[in-house]
C-alpha cells in the first residue's frame, strides 16, 4: 500500500481484511473508498483454498481436503477435545521423508506449500464451521515435514499469530518434526512455538527400519538437539511414539526410551496405530500398549495414550487425498 502512495496503516487495514473469515470481495472493505476498492479488485485476486471434500466422523472429527491452484490436494483435520478443538495442519503436498508407516509418504514429495496456503487452511476451516467449533490449538502434524519448508512455515506462523491476522497464541501452536536436526535449533531461536518430535523408536536399529531420516540424523544427534533446544518455562518437548506390533512395542523398548529421554523436560504421546491397506504394520495389542505405558510411568514420565479419532473417515494423512485425486 505504501508503494501505491498510501500511508502504512492502509496496509494494516488490508491485511486485517484479508484474514477475516468470510471476506471474499474487496467491496466488503468498507473503510476503504470506493475508488480504492475498485483499484484493489482490478490489481489483485482473492484466492481462498478451494474445498474439495469434507468428512465428518461419528466422534466429531472433521477432515478437510483442499484443492490447490495446481490441482493438487492437501488435508487438514479438526479434532474435538473435551473443552476445545485442535487443528492439525499440513505444510507440504506429499512428503520426502519416507516414513514407512505413513500414507503421505506413499505420495512422494510434490511441492512445498506457500505461506498463504498453510495459514489459509485455518481460515478455510473457520469459514466452514460454526464459531463454537473454531480451533483453539494448532498442531503442524499433517502432510509434510514442517522444518523442510521452513521459511513458509515461519511466514505462516506470523499470519496465524498476528493480532491483525488470525490471532492464535504461540503457546497454543506446536510444530512437529521427524528429526530435521539443523532446523530444530533455528526454530527455537526464531519462535516460541511448542516442539514435538516424531521419535517412534529409542535406538538406531529400530528407527532405521521405519524412518529413513534416521540415516541422516541418528537418534543420538536428534536427542542432543532436543537437549540443546531452548525450552521456555512451563513447556516440555512432546515425543510422539507410534506403537507398532512386534516392531517397537516391547517392555525393553519402553525402558530404552525412558533412559534415552532422561534429563529432558518431556511428555510422551503414545499413539495406537490405525491399520490401513498398503501399510505393512499391525496395531499393537491393548495389553502391549498398557505395559509400555506403565513402564514409562514407573520411570516418572508423563506418558499419555492418545485416543484414536476419526477412524471411520480415513483420518490418517494421505487417505482423503487419494480419494480426491481418484475422483
Catalytic residues: 75, 317
HEC string of the chain equals CHHHCCCHHHHHHHHHHHCCCCCCCHHHCCCCCHHHHHHHHHHCCCCCCEEEEEEECCCCCEEEEEECCCCCEEEEEEEECCCCEEEECCCEEECCCCCCCCHHHHHCEEEECCHHHHHHHHHHHHHHCCHHHCCCEEEECCCCCHHHHHHHHHHHHHHHHCCCCCCCCHHHEEEEECCCHHHHHHHHHHCCCEEEEECCCCCHHHHHHHCHHHHCCCHHHHHHHHHHCCCCCCCCEEEEEEEECCCCCCHHHHHHHHHHCCCCCEEEEEEECCCCCCCCCCECCHHHHHHHHHHHHHCCCEEEECCCCCHHHCCCCCHHHHHHHHC
- Answer for the pair 26, 40: CB distance below 8 angstroms, yes or no: yes
Distance CA 114, CA 111 (A): 9
Angle at 277 between CA 274 and CA 280, to 5 degrees: 75
- Give, in order, the Cα–Cα distances in Å from 25 to each of 4, 42, 124, 161, 305: 20, 12, 15, 23, 45
Amino acid at each position: 500500500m505504501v508503494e501505491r502512495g498510501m500511508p502504512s496503516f492502509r496496509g494494516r487495514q488490508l491485511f486485517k481484511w484479508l484474514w477475516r473469515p468470510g471476506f471474499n470481495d474487496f467491496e466488503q472493505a468498507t473503510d476503504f473508498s470506493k475508488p480504492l476498492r475498485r483499484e484493489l479488485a482490478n490489481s489483485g485476486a482473492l484466492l481462498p483454498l478451494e474445498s474439495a471434500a469434507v468428512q465428518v466422523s461419528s466422534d466429531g472429527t472433521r477432515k478437510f481436503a483442499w484443492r490447490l491452484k495446481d490441482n493438487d490436494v492437501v488435508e487438514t483435520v479438526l479434532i474435538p477435545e473435551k473443552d476445545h478443538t485442535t487443528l492439525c495442519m499440513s505444510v507440504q503436498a506429499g512428503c520426502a521423508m519416507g516414513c514407512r508407516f505413513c500414507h503421505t509418504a506413499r505420495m512422494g514429495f510434490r511441492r512445498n506449500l506457500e505461506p498463504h496456503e498453510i495459514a489459509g487452511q485455518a481460515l478455510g476451516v473457520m469459514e466452514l464451521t460454526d464459531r463454537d467449533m473454531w480451533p483453539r490449538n494448532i498442531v503442524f502434524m499433517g502432510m509434510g515435514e514442517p522444518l523442510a519448508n521452513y521459511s513458509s512455515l515461519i511466514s505462516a506462523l506470523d499470519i496465524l499469530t498476528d493480532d491483525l491476522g488470525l490471532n492464535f497464541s504461540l503457546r497454543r501452536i506446536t510444530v512437529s518434526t521427524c528429526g530435521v536436526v539443523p532446523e530444530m535449533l533455528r526454530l527455537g531461536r526464531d519462535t516460541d512455538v511448542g516442539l514435538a518430535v516424531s521419535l517412534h523408536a529409542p535406538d538406531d536399529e529400530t528407527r532405521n527400519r521405519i524412518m529413513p531420516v534416521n540415516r541422516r540424523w541418528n537418534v543420538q544427534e536428534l536427542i542432543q538437539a532436543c537437549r540443546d533446544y531452548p525450552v521456555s518455562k512451563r513447556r516440555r518437548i512432546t515425543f510422539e511414539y507410534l506403537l507398532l506390533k512386534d516392531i517397537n512395542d516391547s517392555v525393553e523398548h519402553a525402558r530404552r526410551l525412558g533412559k534415552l529421554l532422561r534429563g529432558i523436560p518431556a511428555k510422551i504421546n503414545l499413539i495406537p496405530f490405525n491399520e490401513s491397506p498398503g501399510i505393512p504394520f499391525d496395531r499393537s495389542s491393548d495389553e502391549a500398549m498398557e505395559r509400555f505405558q506403565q513402564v514409562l510411568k514407573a520411570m516418572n514420565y508423563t506418558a499419555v495414550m492418545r485416543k484414536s479419532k476419526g477412524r471411520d473417515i480415513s483420518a490418517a494423512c494421505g487417505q482423503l487425498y487419494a480419494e480426491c485425486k481418484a475422483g
